[in-house]
Structure 1
Amino acid sequence: MIRTFLVLFVLISNMIFAQNKLNLIPYPQKVQLLQGEFAIPKAFVLSGDLPKEETEYFKKRIGSQVEFQYAKKGGEIHLTNSIIPQASGTDSEQKKEYYSIEISPKQIHIKSYTKQGYFLALQTLIQLIEQYKEGKNIPAMKIEDQPKFAWRGMHLDVCRHFFTVDEVKQYIDYLAMYKLNTFHWHLTDDQGWRIEIKKYPKLTQIGSKRKESMIGAYVDNTFDGKPYGPYFYTQEQIKDVVKYAQDRHITVVPEIEMPGHALAALSAYPELACTKGSFEPATKWGVFDDVFCPKDETFTFLENVLDEVIQLFPSRYIHIGGDECPKTRWKECAHCQELIKKNNLKDEHGLQSYFIHRIEKYVNSKGRKIIGWDEILEGGLAPNAAVMSWTGVNGGIEAAKSKHFAVMTPGAYCYFDHYQGDPQSEPNAFGGFTPLEKVYSYNPIPSELNAEQSQYIMGVQANLWTEYILDFKQVQYMIFPRLMALSEVGWGTSDPKNYKEFENRVINQFKVLDGMKVNYARSIYNITGKVIPSNNGIAYELSTSQNSNSIRYTLDGTDPSINSKTYQTAVEIPNSLTIKSAYFEEGQLKSAVSTQQFIISKTTGKKITLEQPSENYSFGGAFTLVDGIIGNVKKLGKTWLGFQGKDVVATIDLGQKTTFSEVYFNTLENKGSWIHLAKSAKIFVSDDNKNFKLIKEIGTPEIQKAGGKIKVNVGTQNAKYLKVTIENAGIIPAGNPGADSKAWLFVDEIGVN
C-alpha cells in the first residue's frame, strides 16, 4: 500500500534557485517547477494520521522555528489515502525509499510506500525550510525521488579513539540529514575492544584500555604517556544506539575484527593466539603479527561473541573485518601448518579463506550474512560473503564478476581520514589527499563491469579511521563537508562536470551547520594550488570557492598582506622559490595563508609516463613526480605517489638532448603503515625512447644509508629521455607490521641537475 501524507508548514524563506537548482543535498532525481507559490500560514498544520515517530523527529528538527498544530475535523485540510498495490521482488526493494512531494499554493502533499520513504521526504522538507526562511513563499513544485544505491554508508572507528553514546548519536543524525542509511560501527581492533560481551568480561576489563597512545606524526614515534580507557559501550548502550538509528531508518552494521587486528582481544584471552604471549592492547598505530589462531577454542570464542553481537544488532550483514592479517605467526605455528595439510590448503592465504568460510557458515546458520574488507578474497571467497572494496576497486570488480555483492569504498575517494586541504595548513591526518571535489567525482560502478555485473554493486561508503582524530570536534571537521559529496554520489545525482554548482549548494549548507555549531572544515575557502605544465616549465594555478580575482600572492616567501600581487592567471615558476597566497575581501585576510616551495630541476614540468600507475595515493598522477614540489615526510598528502607491491617505472621526456650529471628522487620509510624504502633503483638514458642504456644502479645499502633521499652522481650525460626504475621492497618480512603482505613504496620528485 502507498501512504499519502499531507503537511502544511510555516517559516520558509525567500531564496531564488541557484542556477535553477534548489539548495538540496543530495539533489533529487526529478524536480518540476509548477505555477504559483505556497502562501505560508502562521502555524505548521499537520493533517491526518501521520507516522508518529517520523513526524516527532520532524518537529524536533524544525524546533522553535515554527508552531505546530493538528487540523481538526472539518478543517481546511483533509488526509487522503491512496492505495496502490506494491510491486513484488526487486521493484519492491527499490520502492522502500521512494517518495514524492507536491507543493501547491494550498498544501504540501507527500507520497511514499513506506515510513522510510516518508522520512526521506521529511529530510527534503527540512532542507527546504532551511532554504526558504523569514516568512517568504516557496515556489510550487513537484519532486519525485529515490536513491540509486541501496547501501549509502559512513563508518566510524571508535577503537583508536573512543566517542560517547551522545556523540555517536550525533554522528547518526548527520547521516540522516543527508539521506545515508548505513552506519558501520568499527568496535574492535588492536588498540581497544569497545563492546561488552557478557560471556567474556575480560574483553572490556583488559582490552578496553591501553597504557598510552601514539601522538604526532608516525615517523616521530612519540607517545603521550597517558593511560587511555577503560572505554566501551555496555549492551544497554548498544541497544539504545541501535534503536536511535532505527528511528532514523539507519541500519547499524557492527564490525568484529578477525582474524587480524586482534591484540586487544588476545590481551584478555592470550590462549587464543598462536604463541603464549603475553599481550597488551597496542599503543602504536599500524598492523601487528599476533592474530587469532584458527583452533577450535578460538572459533568457539568467536561464535559466542557473535551470538551476543547478533542479538544486539538486527542488521542483515555482520562485518567480520578480514583485512591486514599478517601470516607470520601462522607460518611458525605447528597447529596452523597441520591444519593447512589436513584440509589440503595451498598456503596461509588458503588458511585465511578457511577461517572466513568457517565463520560465514556459522553466521549464515543464524540467518545473517557476512561482509568483510577485500582481503577476504584471499584464497577464495566464502559462498555468501559480500566484499567491502577498500584497497582500490579491484576487490569490488572481482566480487561482482563472481556474482558476490560489494560495497565500494576505495581509499583514494572514500577515506575521510585523508587530508582534504593543503596538508601544510590542515590538522595532522593519516595521509593521502582527498578533497571535496575528488569525493564528488567518484562513480561507484567500475567501468570494467557490464550491466548485469553492476547489479552486484550495493553502493558506496566512506570510512573514518581515528588514529589522528582525538575528539568529536575533529570527527566533525573530517566528515564535513565531504559527507555531502558522498551523499550525492550514493543517491546517484552527482555530476562532476557541474562541481562548482554543487560547491555552491555546499556553501549554503554551511549556514545550517553553523546553526548546529558543527566544526566543519573550511578548506574550500582556502587557496587550492595546482601545478600545470607551461612553455617555460611549470605554472601554478590558484583558485578558491570565492572570487579568484581576490587572491593575492608573493613569490619571495613574504606575507601576502604586504606588497603582494593580485592573482589573474597561472603564475609562472621560472626558478626555485616560495609562493605564498591568500584570499582577501575588502583588504581583509579571509583564508589561511597557503605556502608552497618549489625546487626546479631540468625534469620539472616535462612529460612523464608511468608503466604502473598508483591507485589509492595518486592525486595529480605521474606529473606529481616532476612538479617541482618535494614531499613532506610527516604529512603524506598530495605530494607523494604510493604503490602497493608495484615498482615505479617512470620515463621522462626532456624535450631535447639535455646535459646533466646528477639524478635525485625521494622514497619514504614508515613501517607501521607498511611503507618501506625502495629495494634498489636503476637509471637509464635514451635518445629515441626505445633503446635505453643503463648508466647507474644502486642497491639497498645505498638507499638505506641515504634514508630514502637519493642523490646519484651519474657522470656527464647528454640525452633526451630519462628512465628511472625504483624497485618495491616486495613482501614485508617477518617481524614487521603487515608481515607477509605487499609493501607500499612511496616516491616523490624525480629530478636531474
Structure 2
Amino acid sequence: MQRFLLLFLILLSGIFFSQTKLNLIPYPQKIDFQEGEFTIPKNFILDKNLPKQETEYFKKHIDKKLRFKYGKKDDAVQLIYSPFPPILSHSPSIRIPPKERYTIHISSKRITINSYTEQGYFLALQTLIQLFEQYKDLGKIPAMKIQDEPKFAWRGVHLDVSRHFFTVEEVKQYIDYLVMYKMNTFHWHLTDDQGWRIEIKKYPKLTQVGSKRKESMIGAYVDNTFDGKPYGPYFYTQEQIKEVVKYATDRHITVVPEIEMPGHALAALSAYPELACTKGPFEPATKWGVFDDVFCPKDETFTFLENVLDEVMTLFPSQYIHIGGDECPKTRWKKCAHCQELIRKNNLKDEHGLQSYFIQRIEKYVNSKGRKIIGWDEILEGGLAPNAAVMSWTGVNGGIEAAKTNHFAVMTPGSYCYFDHYQGDPATEPNAFGGFTPLDKVYSYDPIPTELNAEQAKYILGVQANLWTEYILDFKQVEYMIFPRLMALSEVAWGTSDPKNYKEFENRVVEHFKVLDKMNVNYAKSIYNISGKATAANKGVFYELSTSQNPSGIRYTLDGTDPTENSQRYENPIPVSKSLTVKSAYFENEKLKSAISSQSFFVSKTTGKSIVLEEQPSENYSFGGAFTLVDGIIGNQKQLGKTWLGFQGKDVVAIIDFGQKTPFSEVYFNTLDNKGSWIHLAKSAQIFISDDGTDFKMIKEIGKDEIFSLKGKIKLNVGNQNSKYLKIKIENAGIIPAGNPGADSKAWLFVDEIGAN
C-alpha cells in the first residue's frame, strides 16, 4: 500500500509540474519539461568558475534562507556555467548578435547555464531568480531545458528627470526594475525646457541657472495653475553620473543620455541667452508644453553643443547619443536674419531644411568621435542625417520611413508605449498627462510594422517605453506608472507576447504582484478594476464589462447608485437603449474588492448607428475607431486616447446612416481646446443631409468665432429635418500660429460624440 501511495505521489508530482505554467516574465522562447525535479538545497554550492559579479547579484536576490559556498565542478555542484555556444532552435526575425542567448538545463542534480557571454549568463540568472520565487515554497523545481534569447536588440525604458528630478538612489532602483524584466537600455532624459540636470564643467551656469525654476505647473494644463514653490537646484554631478553608469553597466544595462536640441532648450538658454535667436532674457519653463525659443544654428551654438557633447560622451560609453530633435517650433528661425541667410547660403528649402542642417552638423561631430546619434522622429524633417537612428514616437510612420531608407529605428509610439498615460479610469487613478494605455494595449503591440518587408524589418532595433514626468511628483508614482506595464512591454520586446492569450499573461502578472509586494513597490492595481468597452451590435450599443478576476464577481447598477446594494450580477453585455449611468465593481465573498467604475451614456438618434470617416484618426488617438463618435459616451478630457478621436492636420468628415429617414432638429458635437498639447478648437463646421448618401445639402454652418464663444461645446439648431443620412464636416485649425506651443506645426483636432435629437 505504501509503495502504491509513493508511486501515486510521484505520478501526481509529474502531472503537477507538466501542467504548471511557469510564472516567468518575459516568457522564454522554448521550454522543454523533462522527467524529474531539482530539490532546492539549503546549502547551495556554486561552481568556483562562475562569473563573480553576476553571481553575487544572484546570491543577493535569491531566497535569503539559502546558504551559498563555492566548490569544484566535479563536486555535487548545484549551479555551473559553461561558456560554450548553446543550440537554439528559435530563429529571431531580427539580426542581433547572440550575446544575450542562453540555455538553462535543470536536472535532478544540478542547474547548468550555457551562454556566449556574461550578459547571457546574467539574463539566465534573472530567469532562475523567478523560478526560485515560484517554487521555493514547494522546495522543488521541475526538470526542464530552457532555450532562450531576445527578439529585439533594443529593449528600452526612458525616464524624464527634467520636469521632476529623482535621486541617484531612485535612478538605481529604476535600473533594477529594468533588470528584473530583461530590459537592456536606460534612456536618461537629462535636459529640457524645465530643467538642465547634468553638470557640464565648461559651462557651470547650465546647472547654476538652468537646474531650478521659480515654480511648477500643477493640475490639468487647461487649468493654468501653479504651486508658487521654487523647484531646485537639482542636477547630477559628473561623479554621480559615473556612479549610475557603472551601476547600470555592472547589470548589463546601457545608459543612453539625451541632450535636447534644437528645441526644448529654455533651461540652457536661460544660462546662455546668446545662443538664442533673440536677446531674451529667458528662464526655465514653469509650464509644460513646447516653447518658441530654441537654439539658433550659429557657430557659437555649435561650439557650445560640441563642448557639451564632449563631456557627455566622456561620461557615457553608449554607442548612441540621443539628441532629441522633437517639437522644435520654427517661429524664431523664420524671423531671424542669421537663420534666413543660412537657408539661402546653403540652398535649403525652408526652416525644416534648416532643422535637417542642424541635426546633420551635430551628427558629423558625434560620428567623428566614434559614436552615433538617435533622435525623435522629427529629425526626419527636411531629410534624415546619413547615419542617424530614429525613435518613432508620434506613431509608427517615423520608424517605417527610417527602415525603408535603411536607417535603424526604435519603436515607441505614444498609443502603446507612453507610460505617463492613464492605465485605468481617471476617476480612480492619480493625475496623469492624459491618453489611455492600459496593460492589455501595451501587451498587444507588435514593434514590426506590417508595411515593412522582411529585409526592411531588420532595421527595427527594438521597442521602448517612455515615462515623462510632468505629473509625476515622486518615485512612488514612478513605480505606479511603470508597473505592471513594464512587464507587458518586456514580453513584447523579448518576442514572446501573444495577445490571443492575454488572460494567461495577466495571471502571471498577478503572481508577480506577490514579489512586488515584498519589495514594497507601489504598483497600479488597475487590472483588478472593472474595464468597460462600448461595442456595436444589432444596430445598437452594448456595454461589455470585464475583469482580471472571476467575471462572476462583477456587479453593476444602471441608476447611478453604487453597486454595493441592489446591484445586478453581470452575465452578458448591457444593452444601452436610453441615457443611463453604469456603475460597476468586483466583489469577492460578498466584499467589495475593486474601485467603483462609472460610465454615463447619453443616447441620441445617432447612437449606435453606422458611421464612416473620410479621414482616419491618428494611430495614437484612434481607440474604438469611428464608432467612438456614436457610442453615446461624451469625451473625458483626461482620457484623450479612449473617449476622443484625434486628427493632426486633418478635417473630420463623418457620414452617419440612420438606417431610415429620421426626424431631428438639433446636432451636437464637442471639440477640445488644449493648446499646450497642440490641440485647437475647430475652425468651422458644416452640417449636411441626404436621402441617398451621395447628394448632400448643407443645412447649417458655424464659424470660428461662434465655436470659440461656445468653447467647443457645439449644439446647433438645424430646423426640422427628416433624412436618412447626416454628414458633418469639422474643419481643423490648420497650422498652429506663432506664440503658441508647437507653432508652425499641424494642429490637432479632437472630436467626441456626434449626436442628433
**Shorter-normalised TM range:** over 0.9
The one-character-per-residue Cα deviations of 1:727-750 (angstroms, maximum 9, x if unpaired) are 111110001111001111111000
The match for 1:663 is: 667
In 1, Cα distance between equivalents of 2:609 and 2:730: 19
Alignment of 1:644 with 2:655, yes or no, is: no
In 1, Cα distance between equivalents of 2:155 and 2:21: 23
Greater alpha carbon shift after TM alignment, 381-390 vs 35-44: 35-44
Q: Secondary structure at the residue paired with 1:64? A: coil
Assess if the C-alpha contact under 8 Å between 2:161 and 2:469 holds in 1: yes
In 2, Cα distance between equivalents of 1:675 and 1:253: 31
Alignment of 1:433 with 2:436, yes or no, is: yes
The match for 1:703 is: 707
**TM-score when normalising by structure 1:** 0.96
Equivalent AA in structure 2 for residue 346 of structure 1: K
- Mapping of residues 628-643 of structure 1, within 5 Å: 628-643=632-647
The match for 2:382 is: 379
Cα offset, 1:632, TM superposition: 2.1
Assess if the C-alpha contact under 8 Å between 1:214 and 1:285 holds in 2: yes
Alignment of 1:469 with 2:472, yes or no, is: yes
Equivalent AA in structure 2 for residue 234 of structure 1: T
Percent identity between matched residues is: 79
Of 571, 575, 580, 2:574 maps to 571
The match for 2:400 is: 397
Q: Secondary structure at the residue paired with 1:307? A: helix
Q: Secondary structure at the residue paired with 1:432? A: strand
Assess if the C-alpha contact under 8 Å between 1:191 and 1:282 holds in 2: yes
Q: Secondary structure at the residue paired with 2:435? A: coil
Report the aligned-residue RMSD: 1.8
Alignment of 1:154 with 2:157, yes or no, is: yes
Of 180, 185, 190, 1:182 maps to 185
Alignment of 1:145 with 2:122, yes or no, is: no
The one-character-per-residue Cα deviations of 1:161-220 (angstroms, maximum 9, x if unpaired) are 000001100110010100000000000000000000000000000000000000011111
Of 275, 280, 284, 1:281 maps to 284
Alignment of 1:133 with 2:136, yes or no, is: yes
Q: Secondary structure at the residue paired with 2:490? A: helix
Q: Secondary structure at the residue paired with 2:312? A: helix
In 2, Cα distance between equivalents of 1:341 and 1:86: 59
Equivalent AA in structure 2 for residue 103 of structure 1: I
- Mapping of residues 578-727 of structure 1, within 5 Å: 578-614=581-617, 615-727=619-731
Q: Secondary structure at the residue paired with 2:447? A: coil
Cα offset, 1:423, TM superposition: 1.8
Q: Secondary structure at the residue paired with 1:749? A: coil
The one-character-per-residue Cα deviations of 1:63-100 (angstroms, maximum 9, x if unpaired) are 5242111125763239675655999xx99952100000
The one-character-per-residue Cα deviations of 1:487-533 (angstroms, maximum 9, x if unpaired) are 00000111111111111111111111111110000000000011112
- Mapping of residues 256-267 of structure 1, within 5 Å: 256-267=259-270
Q: Secondary structure at the residue paired with 1:624? A: helix
Assess if the C-alpha contact under 8 Å between 1:609 and 1:650 holds in 2: yes
The match for 1:32 is: 32
The one-character-per-residue Cα deviations of 1:336-387 (angstroms, maximum 9, x if unpaired) are 0000000000100000000000000000000000000000000000000000
Assess if the C-alpha contact under 8 Å between 2:83 and 2:115 holds in 1: no
Assess if the C-alpha contact under 8 Å between 1:86 and 1:92 holds in 2: no
Alignment of 1:362 with 2:358, yes or no, is: no
The one-character-per-residue Cα deviations of 1:691-728 (angstroms, maximum 9, x if unpaired) are 22222111111111110001111111111111111111
Q: 1:338 to 1:99 in 2, by over 3 A?
A: same
The one-character-per-residue Cα deviations of 1:592-628 (angstroms, maximum 9, x if unpaired) are 0001111110111112122222211121221111111
Q: Secondary structure at the residue paired with 2:395? A: coil
- Mapping of residues 488-507 of structure 1, within 5 Å: 488-507=491-510
In 2, Cα distance between equivalents of 1:17 and 1:473: 37
The match for 2:750 is: 746
Equivalent AA in structure 2 for residue 32 of structure 1: D
The match for 2:62 is: 62
Cα offset, 1:25, TM superposition: 0.5
Equivalent AA in structure 2 for residue 34 of structure 1: Q
The match for 2:71 is: 71
Q: 1:91 to 1:321 in 2, by over 3 A?
A: closer
Assess if the C-alpha contact under 8 Å between 1:102 and 1:141 holds in 2: yes
The match for 1:199 is: 202
Greater alpha carbon shift after TM alignment, 523-532 vs 92-101: 92-101
Assess if the C-alpha contact under 8 Å between 1:14 and 1:133 holds in 2: no
Of 214, 218, 229, 1:215 maps to 218
The one-character-per-residue Cα deviations of 1:622-667 (angstroms, maximum 9, x if unpaired) are 1111111111235535111111111111111112111111110000
Q: 1:71 to 1:603 in 2, by over 3 A?
A: same
Of 350, 355, 360, 1:352 maps to 355
Assess if the C-alpha contact under 8 Å between 2:41 and 2:66 holds in 1: no
Q: Secondary structure at the residue paired with 2:754? A: strand
Q: Secondary structure at the residue paired with 2:698? A: strand
Q: Secondary structure at the residue paired with 2:667? A: strand
In 2, Cα distance between equivalents of 1:300 and 1:235: 21
In 1, Cα distance between equivalents of 2:83 and 2:297: 56
Q: 1:15 to 1:631 in 2, by over 3 A?
A: farther
Cα offset, 1:536, TM superposition: 6.5
In 2, Cα distance between equivalents of 1:689 and 1:413: 36
The match for 1:549 is: 552
Cα offset, 1:428, TM superposition: 1.2
Q: Which runs of 4+ in 1 moved over 4 A?
A: 13-20, 78-87, 90-93
Assess if the C-alpha contact under 8 Å between 1:187 and 1:194 holds in 2: yes
Assess if the C-alpha contact under 8 Å between 1:410 and 1:616 holds in 2: yes
Assess if the C-alpha contact under 8 Å between 1:14 and 1:136 holds in 2: no
The one-character-per-residue Cα deviations of 1:77-128 (angstroms, maximum 9, x if unpaired) are 39675655999xx999521000000011111110000000000000000000
Equivalent AA in structure 1 for residue 659 of structure 2: G
Assess if the C-alpha contact under 8 Å between 2:736 and 2:742 holds in 1: yes
In 1, Cα distance between equivalents of 2:682 and 2:176: 45
In 2, Cα distance between equivalents of 1:709 and 1:81: 67
Q: 1:278 to 1:576 in 2, by over 3 A?
A: same
Assess if the C-alpha contact under 8 Å between 2:94 and 2:151 holds in 1: no
In 1, Cα distance between equivalents of 2:73 and 2:137: 30
Q: 1:77 to 1:343 in 2, by over 3 A?
A: same
Greater alpha carbon shift after TM alignment, 564-573 vs 184-193: 564-573
In 2, Cα distance between equivalents of 1:452 and 1:572: 48
In 1, Cα distance between equivalents of 2:729 and 2:496: 42
Alignment of 1:737 with 2:741, yes or no, is: yes
Greater alpha carbon shift after TM alignment, 41-50 vs 271-280: 41-50
Assess if the C-alpha contact under 8 Å between 1:423 and 1:637 holds in 2: no
In 2, Cα distance between equivalents of 1:591 and 1:164: 33
Structure 2 unmatched runs, 5+: 1-12
Alignment of 1:301 with 2:312, yes or no, is: no
In 1, Cα distance between equivalents of 2:477 and 2:443: 21
Q: 1:82 to 1:118 in 2, by over 3 A?
A: closer
Structure 1 unmatched runs, 5+: 1-12
The match for 1:121 is: 124
Equivalent AA in structure 1 for residue 28 of structure 2: P
Q: Secondary structure at the residue paired with 2:436? A: coil
In 1, Cα distance between equivalents of 2:725 and 2:103: 61
Cα offset, 1:534, TM superposition: 3.4
**TM-score when normalising by structure 2:** 0.95
The match for 1:537 is: 540
Assess if the C-alpha contact under 8 Å between 2:685 and 2:701 holds in 1: yes
Q: 1:189 to 1:73 in 2, by over 3 A?
A: closer
The match for 1:229 is: 232
